[in-house]
Structure 1
C-alpha cells in the first residue's frame, strides 16, 4: 500500500487529500529555484552585447523586458504569490492552465495554489515554463537558450572522459561479431552502468554550478557497484534477448529501444555510446531518443543539444571520438536512430496521465520493446513524486503506466525511492540522512507489464 502522500509532492490521487508544503519542499523552493532564476537573469544580461550585435536596439529592448519579467517571477516565487495562468498563447498553454484548474479543485481554493503550498514537482516545472514564457514574449531573442553555456561547458570539461569512452567503444566494436553472448552481456552491463552514473552530472541539482565528469567512468564502476540500491540489469538484458524475433533462414531481427533522455553534456554521450553498442552488437535494430521541446531543468537535452553533441564529436581532434560522431550521424541519416520531442515531456503531469493526455506519445512508447528512462526527473514523474513506502513495488508506484517493459537509470537526487528490500531504507537513513538527495546512490530499476516482480 501507498503511504500518505508527502506534503508538497505530486498531485494526490482522488482518495488522498492535498496537503500543505512540507519542510523539504519549502526549503528547496525558497533556496534552489531563486538561485537558478538569478543565474538566468545574469546570463541574459551578460549577453546584452550579443543581442545588440545580432538585432540592434530591438535586441537590447527585448533583453530589458525579459529581465523585468523574470525579476517579477522571482518576486512571485520568494513571496509565495498565487500561481498565475499562462497567457502567452503557445501550444501547451491550455494544458498548463487546465493543470492549474485541477490543482485548484484538489486544494479547494484558488488562493491555496501558491508557490509554497503547491506540489513541489509542479512548481519546479512551472518555473521553467515561465522562463520560456519570458523569452517567447520577447522576440527577437525568443530562441535564446539561457542554459546553453552550462551545457556546453559541461561537455568540454568532460572531454577526457568522453575520449576514454569512445576509445572503449571502438575496442568493443572492432571485434563485436566474434563476441560470445556472455561477453556481450558483460559489455552491456558495463555500458549500462556508465549510462547510470553519467546521470550524476545534473546542472539543475547543482543550480548550474560546474558538475562535469573528469576521469574515465570505466575506472570507477567496481567501486560504485555497492551504491546501486536496486540492480535489475539482468532483467533488462533478458528483455533485449527476448525481443529478438525469428527471421528467414534462422536469422533473428532485434527489437526497438527507446531512450527518454535527461541531461546534455557527458550524460548524453554515455547514452549515445550505449545506443551505439546496442545497434552494433545486434541487440537492437533501431533506437528512438526522446528529448525536450525547450530548454528545461537547466541541463536537459533539446534537439539542438542532441545535434550539437554529435557534431562536436565529429569535429573532435581525437580519432575514436570523431569516428563515433561520424557513425552516429550515419545512424541518424539511415533512420536507425531518430530523435523526437513532445510537449508532454515538459508538462508537470505524472507519466500515469500520458495515456489519457498524450495518447499518441503513449502509443509511440508501446511500439518499443524496451524503454530506458534516464534520470531523477523522469523517476519522479514515473512514481508521481509521492512519498511511497520504500518497499512498495516499482510497478505499483507506476500507477498503471505500462506502455512497454521499462527501466529507470537514476542517481538519487529527490526524496523518493521505491522497490527496496525490507529494512534497506531504514538502514540507509540511519547511516546517511541525505542518501535520497546526494546523488551518491543509483538504481537500475526494471518493470515489465508482462510480469510483475
Structure 2
C-alpha cells in the first residue's frame, strides 16, 4: 500500500516559523527594498500595499491585474504560474502552503517594483542588487571570504584535504542568506571556523569520492556573496583537476529570496574576482572566464527555479540536462525543501525513498533554516529539541548528504 503523503508545511499554523516568517520577516524585507532603492511614489505605494496584503489580504491572480506579456515572461512560465496560483485564489496569505506563499510573494514583489514593466525605469532591475553588492564587497563579505578560503586551500597538499576544506566552506557559506538578516551577522565570523561537530549528517568523504570519479557536475545554486564565491572556488578546483571535467551552474531566471543567484550575479562575481588586488583570486577569476570561453563552465538560468513548483515537477528541459550529469549538488535550504515538497515529513523518514524520482546521484549541502529535515534518528531528534528548541531554523547546524541511485 502506497504511503500517504504528509501535508504541506503551512503559513496557517499559529506561532510557527512559517507564519512568523510571513507576518514579520517578509514585511521587513519589503521595507528594506523601499529603503535601499530610489522608488517612485507609484512603486512605493505598490510595495506598501503588498506588505499590507500579506497580513490582511487574499491570494489573487496578478495576470488579471498587471500587463505581463510573453515578451517579458515565457509562455510556459505564465502557464506555470497561473496553474500554481489557481488552487489558492481567494485564500488568506496566512493559511496556504509555506513554499507557495514565499515564491508567490517574491513574484509579486517584482511586479510591484516594476521589474516586468517595459515602460518602467526599473524594468529588469534587481530590487535586491544593493544588498548583493554590499555582501560581495563589504568587510567580511564574499571577496574577503574568498581570500581566506584560497589561502587555506593553498596551504594544503593532499587533494582530498583540499576538497574537504572547499566542501565545508561551500556548506557554511550557505549561512549568509540575505533573506534572513538576523542570522547573517551572527554567522559571518564563523563561516570558515571548524564546525564539524555541527554537522547532523556528514557524507563529505562520499562526496569527495564522487567528485573524483565525475567528469560533469551540476550545481543548483543558492546565495550570492560568500556562498557563491565558495561555490566558484570549488568549481574551479574541480575544473582544474582534469581537462575532461565540466561544471554546469543552474541559477534563477529572475531575482528572488533577496540573495539567490542569477546569471548576472555569477558574471559580476567572476568579474569582481578578476579585478581583485589579491593576485590568486584574480587568477581564479581569469581561469573561470577561460573555462567559460572553452565551454567547460556553463550557466543555465530557468524560470522553474523561481516558480512555486517542487522537484517532482522538474520540466523536461532541466531533466534533460541533469540526466547528462555524473553528480548533482543542491545548495541551500530552499532546494532541500523542494526535494521534499516542503511537506511535514518525520525527521526519521528517508530522503532516498522520498526523492527516489531524482534522475541522478545527488548531494545536498544545507545549513538548517526551516522546519524540515529527514534521516535524523528519533532519539537524536528528541535530544536536539531538548538542548536547542530552535535547532531546525537558527542556522547553527548543517547537512552534507549524498544519495546514490540504486
Using structure 2 for the length normalisation, give the TM-score: 0.90
Cα deviations by residue, 1:177-227 (Å, 9 ceiling, x for unpaired) = xx6xxx322221121111000101110122797577457x54x22xx1011
The counterpart of 1:427, out of the listed 376, 383, 388, is 383
Give the CA deviation at 1:23.
Answer: 3.2
Q: How does 1:202-241 map to 2 (within 5 A)?
A: 202-206=177-181, 213-214=188-189, 217-218=191-192, 220-221=193-194, 224-241=195-212
2:15 aligned partner: 23
2:165 aligned partner: 190
| Partners of 1:74 and 1:302 in 2: CA distance | 25
Q: Which runs of 5+ in 1 are unaligned?
A: 10-19, 49-62, 105-109, 173-178, 244-254
Give the CA deviation at 1:236.
Answer: 1.8
Give the CA deviation at 1:260.
Answer: 0.7
Give the CA deviation at 1:171.
Answer: 5.0
1:293 aligned partner: 253
1:367 aligned partner: 324
Q: How does 1:291-370 map to 2 (within 5 A)?
A: 291-354=251-314, 358-370=315-327
The counterpart of 1:404, out of the listed 347, 360, 380, is 360
CA, structure 1 residues 394+28, in 2 after alignment: closer, same or farther (shift >3 Å)? same
CA, structure 1 residues 284+230, in 2 after alignment: closer, same or farther (shift >3 Å)? farther
1:269 aligned partner: 229
The number of equivalent residue pairs is: 389
Give the CA deviation at 1:83.
Answer: 3.4
The counterpart of 1:98, out of the listed 83, 100, 117, is 83
CA, structure 1 residues 155+2, in 2 after alignment: closer, same or farther (shift >3 Å)? farther
2:60 aligned partner: 83
| Partners of 2:111 and 2:302 in 1: CA distance | 17
Give the CA deviation at 1:425.
Answer: 1.2
The DSSP-based 3-state class of the residue aligned with 2:245 is strand
1:281 aligned partner: 241
The counterpart of 2:176, out of the listed 193, 198, 201, is 201
Q: Which runs of 5+ in 2 are unaligned?
A: none
Task: Let me know the Cα RMSD of the aligned residues.
Answer: 2.2
Q: Which moved more, 1:134-143 or 1:202-211?
A: 202-211
The counterpart of 2:28, out of the listed 35, 49, 56, is 35
Q: Please list every run of at least 4 consecutive aligned residues from structure 1 whose deviation after the TM superposition is greater than 6 angstroms.
A: none
Give the CA deviation at 1:278.
Answer: 1.1
1:71 aligned partner: 48
Q: Which moved more, 1:312-321 or 1:263-272?
A: 312-321
Assess if the C-alpha contact under 8 Å between 1:259 and 1:373 holds in 2: yes
| Partners of 2:249 and 2:316 in 1: CA distance | 18
Assess if the C-alpha contact under 8 Å between 1:161 and 1:214 holds in 2: no
Cα deviations by residue, 1:8-44 (Å, 9 ceiling, x for unpaired) = 17xxxxxxxxxx5453122221111111111112223
CA, structure 1 residues 318+237, in 2 after alignment: closer, same or farther (shift >3 Å)? closer
The DSSP-based 3-state class of the residue aligned with 1:23 is coil
| Partners of 1:328 and 1:75 in 2: CA distance | 44
The DSSP-based 3-state class of the residue aligned with 2:93 is coil
Greater Cα radius of gyration, structure 1 or 2: 1
Assess if the C-alpha contact under 8 Å between 1:155 and 1:266 holds in 2: yes
| Partners of 2:50 and 2:218 in 1: CA distance | 36
Assess if the C-alpha contact under 8 Å between 2:7 and 2:344 holds in 1: yes
Cα deviations by residue, 1:393-440 (Å, 9 ceiling, x for unpaired) = 112232x43121111100000000001134111110111010000000
1:163 aligned partner: 147
Cα deviations by residue, 1:159-182 (Å, 9 ceiling, x for unpaired) = 43221223334556xxxxxx6xxx
Cα deviations by residue, 1:79-117 (Å, 9 ceiling, x for unpaired) = 13233343423322221111122x24xxxxx43x22011
The DSSP-based 3-state class of the residue aligned with 2:328 is strand
Using structure 1 for the length normalisation, give the TM-score: 0.81
| Partners of 1:191 and 1:82 in 2: CA distance | 42
CA, structure 1 residues 335+29, in 2 after alignment: closer, same or farther (shift >3 Å)? same
CA, structure 1 residues 32+21, in 2 after alignment: closer, same or farther (shift >3 Å)? same
Q: Say whether 1:380 aligns with 2:337.
A: yes
The counterpart of 2:7, out of the listed 2, 5, 8, is 5
CA, structure 1 residues 425+153, in 2 after alignment: closer, same or farther (shift >3 Å)? same
| Partners of 2:126 and 2:382 in 1: CA distance | 42
Assess if the C-alpha contact under 8 Å between 2:176 and 2:183 holds in 1: no
